[in-house]
Amino acid sequence: MSKTTQCLIIYLVLCLSIGTAFSQGLAPPSNVAAVDTPNDDGSSITIKWDAAPEDSGISGYQILRRIAGSGLEEVGGMLPAGSTTYVDSTIEKGSAYVYIVRAVTETEATVESEETAPVKGTGEWFHMGKIPLFFGMILFSAAILWNLYDARSGKEIFVRRIPGLEAVDEALGRATEMGRSILYVLGLGQVDNVATIASMTILGQVARRTADYETPLLVPCNDPIVLNVVREMVKSSYLDEGRPDAYNEENIFFLTDSQFAYAAGVDGIMIREKPAAIFLQGTFYAESLIMAETGNSIGAIQIAGTDSEHQLPFFIAACDYTLIGEELYAATAYLSKDPMFLGSLKGQDWGKLVIFAAIVLGVILELSGVNWITTLLQRVR
Amino acid sequence: MEVLGIWIAAFLTLCIFSFLYRDNPFYRFAEHLFIGLSVGYSIVVTIHQGFIPLAWEPLSEGVNALQSELTSEGTPETKEALSGLFKIIPIGIGLLFFARLSPRHTWLIRYPIAILIGFTAGAAIPNVLQASIFEQTYGTLTPFAAMHAGSLSTGDIVGAILITIGLICTLVYFFFSVEHQGPVGWLSKVGIAFLMIGFGAAFGNTVMGRVALLIHRVGFLINDWLGSIF
Amino acid sequence: MKRQVPLALCFLFGIVMILTQFSPHSYSQGVYREVINWNLIINPFALILAVATLIQTHMTRIQRRTEHWQYSLVVFLGMAVMVLIGIPLGPQNSYVEWLYNNLQVPMDATMFSLLAFFIASAAYRAFRARTFEATLLLITALIVMMGNVPVGDLIWNSVLSWLPMEDGASKVRQWILDIPNLASRRGIILGVSLGVISQSIRIILGIERSYLGGGD
Amino acid sequence: MFEKLMNIDRRIIFVLVAVVVIIPTLIPIRLPTRVAEPTQKLYDYIDELPPGSTIIMAFDYGPSSLAEPEPMAKAVLQHCFNKDVRVIGITLYANMPTLADKLMQKIATENGAVYGEDYTFLGYRPGALQVILGMGTNIAGVFETDYHGTAIAEIPMMENITNYDQIDLLLDLAAGSSTEAWIIYANTRYNLKIAAGVTGVIIAQMYPYLQTNQLVGFMPGYLGATEYEKLLNAPGDGTIGLNTASFVHLLIIGLVALGNIAFFIQRRREE
């Protein structure tokens, strides 16, 4: 082959390839911009460009970058045809980068955009997308603190009627009438458990009434520390009512610390003593329904209360009254008059009110096509 | 060894099932053995998968690195391992848990507990607010945006409205600052109805879960144990 | 020393965890990582508390010769066997695995399978439609139970075949879980979360100190 | 008469339950099942993952509740291995590592998956919150080695993985509140996608998270395992178990109905 022929072939091939590129009207990616990625630690730069028209024949993009004064290098792999952004998280902090977006066709023809202005990655001290969250947090904290302060300064805080609590008198009355005892089960919680504390507060109130009525009060415990606290508590209730003589320490006793054996032990007490009223208040696990079932079978009036969500259905189905979750805390706040409980309860109610308002307002706004509230609540990466 | 294992497992399984007849020494033996073994296993795993990799190894690597650094054989790797020495502070704080064993110094365990509790509380506040309050409220509202756009089927529209009503009424039920009378009383009644349906659903699913546990054990007794005999 | 320092530590770690959630800067993220690391290291030591409490409880039972005190010896036996083999040899050792697979796992699994029996007996003897609420709960439960097992649709399709809906049991179950159940769960989640956040605020600010226990 | 019927020894009911479980275990049957949205969503998500993707599987249950999550784990592992999706196993439960390790090994052997390339088991670290948050910044900072003591850096499939940014999904097999913890801390804080397989007790509380897409999908108990097995066309423990459970369910439904009928008759008489 002569040199001329070779030149001709090379020339033809070149023409052809350039020709294909031009015949498809391959335009360089437009409006290419590189910016420091917002709300990050400064380890990335975001590159954006306009989407090419659908018939452009572009099959993908490549990102090229260079630190001022050095050569071009490719970053990342081939990006799919539809993409319009790329986050380069392989940058070196403090260096300024210049980017080029290169469009690639199926025939491997390429066309490059203009260079962007140099850009550095910088870290932000505050995540701007989290402003609503930040204010939400501050406002809720303020609501809690305000109400705590209010409660501490002796302001009366109203707590609504709680049906399960009102049934206590009914249950005690019945036990007294029948001349039977009352059984109080505190569950398997430890002494620092919120529900156990709540349960002990309710027990304190129950003990005051039993002191008055001279009804025997049985409290089988499964935790030695709880046992000691409960003994002290019941004793002081009897003292407050002026009936220290009616207090019988042996009625508050340690049964066992293992789950099912405890339930079996309580069952035995129920069947032997046939208490007229049974209180199941505190933290319960799977043993809940064993006790509730036996209590039901001896015909006792049963008042349950727990924040163990999984046991609530069984209590509701098998007991006469049930304090559901937060109701137990509200009952404690109401009975103990502890400003900390009362104040938080009120503060949380304010929180619910705000959520309530956000939902009602949000529904109206969304239906009229205004997205203010959802924009506020949406998570920003 | 394997056959022996199956027989022991079957025996212990039956010991525990014997509780169904009534509380008895076999059950109590098995139950207490189980408590002991499982606490023992937790100790073993916590030491081998907790203390050793998280505290002991980085520390001993740090000590070794310090030695080679002092004998001036320091390499970049030993410099990195030296940072393990800083872990002596959290390890020291963790060791304060042993103060539990001495009644006079028990108060010292408050230090590590305070750190763990503060950490948990601090992590909870923003994340729970975002995940459970912001996003759950957001999720209640998004169907209404779709409704405005007209992209929701009748069934979904009814569903979204019911969810909103149910949610609002449930919130009202757990609202304690107002007496539940009049309109508030009505809303809270609807709320309790929704709550009961929710609890009923949990009840039905729990039955499935508990039954599954039994089927699994009976499967073991029949297929693995009796299956190995016949 | 006994109260102020723990309260200060709790406040410090709490505030750092909050602020670092809002600050993506590499310095604050460095602090965040370090705080997590510290807590990862401290946490395993908490096991000492649990073990000490357990040992104390059973020691007391043995010393006082309370009813069934002999079983406390069984607890120690189980623990000693596992610990004496496990700590030197590690949990991957075949003896430890043998004990785990043939003693611990079967007992643990069986213990909870007893509940299937208890649910059945409570179903008969205790779950009563005594009030409107309990009735609603029980009806929902029955529907969900039907929808959960394949036999539910089988019964629906043969008994209620005249209805225009096929596989109704599982469809009704799905609707209950998707709509009313979702609504009430979301209400509970919102309430509980407000409670968690309010408790966390009280803890960090040192208003709630029950974790310090009694004493001065 | 009614008094007597109402007060029958509960052990009679226990015997009934035992019979109803034992007979179908001896003579298994199979009834058709439908697949509901939560499981379908999870299946679709995993099915559409490109080969070479990585998911984390968290075995957050204990031996006490393994009946339900185990068939789910088997089904999803099988699916992943066949789709060439890599699986990293971890657990937040101290009494779980041995079981989880053996389970992964077993399913891997059955499906020809290779340790270190197709799957790995990192084991357990104490402190759920610390582990969840810690892995978000650096997985090797929490798990410097896998369960068997091999350094993470030497495990081929972990080569390009530093934190949750390289993980396509976390599947939490849960018997407690761990799924909520993963959602609140890993999804909210690090945008990690979460899916779950949960025991019966906690099914109902998953639905709010599914609607907000905080959960990609989830398997509800035995039913979920059965559904996933159906989608894979590989009936296993879930399918067998659920069919057996059918009979126990019928018994319990019957007992509730009977108990309540007696209750109403008794109440009417008293009036």
CA D58 to chain B, closest CA, distance in angstroms equals 16
Q: How confident is the model at residue A12 (pLDDT cuts 50, 70, 90)?
A: low
Residue A194 has pLDDT above 90, yes or no: no
Show residues of chain C in contact with A297, CB under 8 Å: 125-126
Residue of C nearest to B121 (CA): C200
**Region C11-18: what's the mean pLDDT?**
96
A376 within 8 A of A132, measured Cβ to Cβ: yes
Q: Which residues contact A7 (CB under 8 A, 6 or more apart)?
A: none
Higher pLDDT, C53 or C179: C179
Where b means 16+ CB within 10 Å and e means fewer, D30-40 reads eeebbbbebbe
Residue of D nearest to B200 (CA): D204
D26 within 8 A of D149, measured Cβ to Cβ: no
Task: Measure Cα distances from A151 to A161, C62, D67 in Å.
Answer: 19, 47, 49
Lowest mean pLDDT among B73-82, C164-173, D38-47, D245-254: B73-82
Interface test with B, best of C36, C103, C124, C205 (most B CBs within 10 A): C103
Domains of chain A: 24-112 (2.60.40.10), 128-154+342-377 (no CATH), 163-337 (3.40.50)
**Region C144-163: what's the mean pLDDT?**
92
Residue B194 has pLDDT above 90, yes or no: yes
Closest CA to A329 of A281, A258, A292, A271: A281
Q: Are D191 and A381 within 8 A, CB to CB? A: yes
Domain boundary residue, one of B57, B91, B125: B91
Q: Check if D259 contacts C (Cβ < 8 Å).
A: yes
Residue of D nearest to C123 (CA): D256
Q: Check if A297 contacts D (Cβ < 8 Å).
A: yes
Entry pTM: 0.92
pLDDT of the residue at D1? 63
Residue in D21, D101, D249 nearest the CB of C149: D249
Q: How confident is the model at residue A3 (pLDDT cuts 50, 70, 90)?
A: low
Q: How many domains does chain B have?
A: 2
Q: Check if C159 contacts B (Cβ < 8 Å).
A: no
Q: Are B203 and A314 within 8 A, CB to CB? A: yes
Q: Check if D163 contacts C (Cβ < 8 Å).
A: no
ipTM of the complex: 0.90
Q: Check if D2 contacts C (Cβ < 8 Å).
A: no
Task: Report how far residue B148's alpha carbon sits from residue A367's, in angstroms, rounded to the nearest whole number.
Answer: 5
Q: Are C191 and A348 within 8 A, CB to CB? A: yes
DSSP string, C48-88: HHHHHHHHHHHHHHHHHT-TTTHHHHHHHHHHHHHHHHHHH
A336 within 8 A of C194, measured Cβ to Cβ: no
Neighbours of chain B (3+ CB pairs under 8 A): A, C, D
pLDDT of the residue at A231? 92
Maximum CA pair distance of chain A?
A: 126
Residue B170 lies in a domain: yes
Residue A25 has pLDDT above 70, yes or no: no
Tell me, what amino acid is at C39?
N
| Mean pLDDT comparison of A47-51, A76-80, C191-195, highest-scoring range | C191-195
User: What confidence tens digit (pLDDT) does each residue in C70-87 have?
Assistant: 888 999 999 999 999 999
B-to-D residue pairs, Cβ atoms closer than 8 angstroms: 134
Residue in D133, D242, D253 nearest the CB of C146: D253
Residue in D11, D187, D208 nearest the CB of B20: D11
Residue B143 has pLDDT above 90, yes or no: yes
Classify the C-alpha dihedral A305-A311-A313-A318 as positive or negative.
negative
User: What confidence tens digit (pLDDT) does each residue in D129-176 have?
Assistant: 999 999 999 999 999 999 999 999 999 999 999 999 999 999 999 998
Q: How confident is the model at residue A373 (pLDDT cuts 50, 70, 90)?
A: very high
Residue B67: count other Cβ atoms within 10 Å of its Cβ.
Answer: 11
Q: What single DSSP character describes residue D151?
A: B
Q: How confident is the model at residue D271 (pLDDT cuts 50, 70, 90)?
A: confident
User: What confidence tens digit (pLDDT) does each residue in B110-140 have?
Assistant: 999 999 999 999 999 999 999 999 999 999 9
> To the nearest whole number, what is the mean pLDDT of chain B?
91
Show residues of chain B in contact with D221, CB under 8 Å: 205, 208-209, 212
CA C185 to chain D, closest CA, distance in angstroms equals 6
- Phi, psi angles (nearest 5°) of residue D219: -105, 115
Residue in C87, C192, C211 nearest the CB of B117: C211
CA C212 to chain D, closest CA, distance in angstroms equals 20
User: What confidence tens digit (pLDDT) does each residue in B7-23 have?
Assistant: 999 999 999 999 998 88
Residue B112 lies in a domain: no
Task: Report how far residue C14's alpha carbon sits from residue C201's, in angstroms, rounded to the nearest whole number.
Answer: 9
> To the nearest whole number, what is the mean pLDDT of chain A?
87
pLDDT of the residue at A139? 96
pLDDT of the residue at A79? 86
Q: How confident is the model at residue B78 (pLDDT cuts 50, 70, 90)?
A: confident
Q: How confident is the model at residue A19 (pLDDT cuts 50, 70, 90)?
A: very low
pLDDT of the residue at A84? 87
User: What confidence tens digit (pLDDT) does each residue in D104-113 have?
Assistant: 999 999 999 9
Domain boundary residue, one of B44, B66, B91: B91
Closest CA to A103 of A221, A198, A21: A21
Residue D5 has pLDDT above 80, yes or no: no
A-to-D residue pairs, Cβ atoms closer than 8 angstroms: 7
Residue A191 has pLDDT above 90, yes or no: no
Q: Are C22 and A123 within 8 A, CB to CB? A: no
Q: Check if A163 contacts B (Cβ < 8 Å).
A: no
What strands, in cross-sheet order, belong to the sheet with A45-48?
Answer: A33-36, A45-48, A85-88
Q: Are B128 and D184 within 8 A, CB to CB? A: yes
Domain membership of residue B46 as a residue range: 1-91
Residues 147-166 of B with CB under 8 A from C: 159, 162-166
pLDDT of the residue at C165? 86
Task: Measure Cα distances from A334 to A169, A205, A330, A331 in Å.
Answer: 16, 11, 6, 5
Residue in D10, D188, D201 nearest the CB of A310: D201
What percentage of residues in chain D have a pLDDT greater than 90?
87
A120 within 8 A of A74, measured Cβ to Cβ: no
D138 CB-contact burial (10 Å; exposed 0-12 / middle 13-18 / buried 19+): middle
Residues 160-199 of C with CB under 8 A from A: 188, 190-192, 194-195, 197-199
Closest CA to B208 of D197, C128, C115, D30: C115
Residue B201 lies in a domain: yes
What percentage of residues in chain A have a pLDDT greater than 70?
93
Show residues of chain B in contact with C196, CB under 8 Å: 124, 128
Domain boundary residue, one of B69, B91, B113: B91
Task: Report how far residue D168's alpha carbon sits from residue D57's, in angstroms, rounded to the nearest whole number.
Answer: 11
pLDDT of the residue at A21? 47
Residues 103-132 of A with CB under 8 A from B: 130, 132
Q: Are C197 and A140 within 8 A, CB to CB? A: yes
- Phi, psi angles (nearest 5°) of residue D35: -110, 125
Residue D251 has pLDDT above 50, yes or no: yes
Q: Are A379 and B135 within 8 A, CB to CB? A: yes
User: What confidence tens digit (pLDDT) does each residue in A236-295 have?
Assistant: 999 999 999 989 888 998 887 778 888 988 998 998 899 999 999 999 988 898 899 999
CA D190 to chain C, closest CA, distance in angstroms equals 11
Q: Check if D67 contacts C (Cβ < 8 Å).
A: yes
Q: How confident is the model at residue C8 (pLDDT cuts 50, 70, 90)?
A: very high
CA D48 to chain B, closest CA, distance in angstroms equals 25
A-to-B residue pairs, Cβ atoms closer than 8 angstroms: 118
Residue B138 lies in a domain: no
Residue of B nearest to C197 (CA): B125
Residue B152: count other Cβ atoms within 10 Å of its Cβ.
Answer: 17
pLDDT of the residue at A282? 93
Residue of A nearest to B22 (CA): A264
Residues 307-346 of A with CB under 8 A from B: 309-310, 312-314, 316-317, 324-327, 330, 345-346
pLDDT of the residue at D7? 74
Q: Are B213 and C2 within 8 A, CB to CB? A: no
pLDDT of the residue at A5? 62
pLDDT of the residue at A337? 86
